[in-house]
Chains A and B, each alone.
Chain A
Amino acid sequence: MSDAQQTQATNHSTGLGAMLRHAREAAGLSQAELARQLNLGARIVEAMEQEDLQTLPGAVYVHGYLRKWAEYLQLDEQQLLQAYTRMAGELRNNNMRHTTPIEPMRMKKPGSNFPWYKLLFFIGIVGLGLFATRFLPESMRLIVTAQETPANTVPNAQSSTPVLPSIPLLPPPEAKPTVPPVATTPGIVVGESLTPANTVQAVQAPITPTTPSAAPSLPGLELKGLGNAQGSWVRVKDADARVIFEGILAPGNSKQLDGKRPFEITIGRASELGVTLDGTNVDLKPYARSADKAFIPKLGSAPSP
């Protein structure tokens, strides 16, 4: 209510404030005296006469005050209440709306509270999975190709690197300037029966070169299952700590591997596995651990120039 309206309302003869003030003056009371008589605060009496609706509390209180007024000053209660209702109609609506709680402050309805973040999280997980599977085959191709490499097919001596086409991480050995001349034909051939054709200097001490035999040898690492029992579990990691082979090698089977050197080889049953690096037999005894296990931390590490 603007000031002009307020003044108008106050000046109006039927205005509530004017009615109250006239009645009080007719009774010869001051505002403070009336407030004391009605047991109300002086501020409230003043607000009532000024029709200051902002200061006054809700309708229920004002109705109560007006009843007191009417009783004490012998006024018509209904008339006062009606005058207030007329005057405060506007504000009352506001009050009603105010009683209706403010929406944004409130909790959302449970129905609309859909867990979008959970959905996003889920989509993210699925996306990550897809992303990973796109790339996994390539990384796994090392193993796949290694496994696909027929272990029994004896590699030809003519083809020096026939089974390493799909290792992109490994540059062609010839392109490696850091590789010393002795290692120009990298790759290990594991296996006792398979003796390398190219006699290559073993890079590490435990690797004892075997005598050249008729069997063709290949550069790279060859694993060969020996014995006649269960075979041996073996895991080969390359220099990047990537598993390039893991599995059980049955007796008679062999595995041709290559990758970035040096290799890290863990063997479950050393007595039933032969390891050949670049055609050189690797003696597993220095690496033996308890219960026929063996662990070769570095095999075929190229000495840096």
Chain B
Amino acid sequence: MGLWNVAQHEALPKTQGIVTVRNLVKFTPVQSIFIKSLISVNQYLMFKNLFGMFSADLSIDLGTANTLIYMRGKNIVLDEPSVVAIRQDGGQSAIQAFGIEAKKMLGRTPKNISAVRPLRDGVIADFHVTEKMLQHFIRKVHGTGLLRPSPRVLVCVPVGATQVERRAIRESVLGAGARKAYLIEEPMAAAIGAGINVDEPRGSMVVDIGGGTSEVAVISLDGIVYSASVRIGGDKFDDAIISYVRRNYGMLIGEATAERIKKDIGCAYPGRDLREIEVKGRNLAEGVPRSFTLNSNEILEALQEPLYGIVQAVRTALEQTPPELGSDIAEYGIVLTGGGALLHDLDRLLMEETGLPVIVADDPLTCVARGGGRVLELIDERYSPLFSVE
């Protein structure tokens, strides 16, 4: 990843969003002693704890597609795409933009800027960039203060995440300035955020369809009875649309366009009305941009494969669920959360495939972050090992 240089900052015009990451400026010995002592004070006298008194606790849904931050006492305070634009100039890199700004650059960057998504399949793919992104977001939600924010942070991890991946998430959160990092499994947070009474002795099934992964979990009495994670999510839908268009129309479209198509006319079940969208892409044969029209049935066809994967995961979960909990689920239904739940008629598809009632949670995109916030409150109210908070 090259070196970060403070000179970068001076050389470039004052662009918004540029953050110098690490500087290589030479300090005089006196200065370096002063800085080192400050660092050691920070480390050994636990100034973080002191600063923590001025920082509100955060619950972060570090998703593949979007990062959401819920601040305790407030509500969702940040909802931005997990995208970082990095500018490379002569072997030195600086961060050009985060979040929404960076997402606009996806696929539209010159050679020296790369817009990257530091998370893949629900876990960290690029540790440093994730850390910087989190740092930026945490500072953003705390506003400009005299003190560096060092909140307690609860982060959600996919149930399928390995120990290494969990550790990477924890480290990056701590590296981003958190005083303490808690990890919670995503479906649990999603269930709490959706408003399911997870502490009842009643089975509830949550299907959280995120950007990178889909999590299926059966929850009862504050615990996860069964959980599974498939690496299918919004990204896979986009990829499926891209390859469908390429195969059937000989047109090349970008990820952003595919996402727009999915949001506008994407559906998971043949609906009553047929919707259409006009898309522009590059014709592979002619090599020039062309406009063409797609309808919702074509998108449905394109999405068959990833949708089948999710249906299969839900079916497997139902097979593995103990019968008493299964009967509860059959009576009250399956709850869908996550951005994927917004795909048109996905609940209908699952309902037809399983024969059970399927309900889309209110505001499914923010369920995980809100649930995490609730868990943070619960951690303070009582110490408990519940929700498998690590």
Q: A interface vs B, CB < 8 Å?
A: 38-41, 43-44, 57-61, 63-65, 67-68, 95, 98-103, 106-110
Check: B383 CB closer than 8 A to any chain A CB.
Answer: yes
Residues of A within 8 A of B386 (CB): 101
For the complex, give the distance between the alpha carbons of A99 and B287 in Å.
Answer: 58
Contact B378 A95 (CB under 8 A): no
> Are A39 and B195 in contact, with the CB atoms below 8 A?
no
B residues bordering A, Cβ < 8 Å?
192, 194-200, 202, 222, 331-333, 335, 351, 355-362, 374, 378, 381-386
Q: Provide the bound-state CA to CA distance between A289 and B374, in Å.
A: 81
Q: Least Cβ distance of B344 to chain A in Å?
A: 12
Which of A40, A64, A67, A106 has most B Cβ within 10 Å? A64
A68 to B348, CA, bound (A): 10
A185 to chain B, nearest CB (A): 76
A60 and B196 form a contact (CB under 8 A): yes
Q: Which of chain A's residues have a CB closer than 8 A to the CB of B378?
A: 100-101
On chain B, the residues within 8 Å of A68 by CB distance are 357
A109 touching B197 by the CB < 8 A rule?
Answer: no
Which of B192, B197, B333, B355 has a CB less than 8 Å from the CB of A64? B333
Which B residues touch A99, using CB under 8 A?
192, 195, 197-199, 374
Task: List 6 tightest A-B contacts by C-beta distance, closest first.
Answer: A64-B359, A60-B195, A57-B332, A106-B382, A60-B194, A109-B383
Q: Do A67 and B360 contact each other (CB < 8 Å), given the known contacts A58-B197, A99-B199, A110-B383?
A: yes
Q: State whether A60 and B359 are in contact (beta carbons under 8 Å apart), knowing that A39-B351, A98-B199, A101-B222 are contacts in the complex.
A: yes
Report chain A residues within 8 Å CB of B192. 99
CB of A64 within 8 A of CB of B357, answer yes
| Sample of 20 more A-B contacts, CB < 8 Å, known A60-B359, A64-B359 | A39-B351, A39-B355, A40-B357, A57-B202, A58-B196, A60-B195, A61-B332, A61-B335, A98-B197, A98-B200, A99-B192, A99-B195, A99-B198, A99-B374, A101-B222, A106-B382, A106-B384, A107-B384, A107-B385, A110-B383
Contacts of A106 in B (CB 8 A): 382, 384
Q: A212 vs B156: C-alpha distance in the bound complex, in angstroms?
A: 100
- A39 in contact with B357 (CB, 8 Å): yes
Residue contact B359 to A63, C-beta cutoff 8 Å: yes
Chain A proximity of B102: nearest CB distance (Å): 33
User: With contacts A40-B357, A41-B331, A58-B195 known, is A63 near B362, CB below 8 A?
Assistant: yes
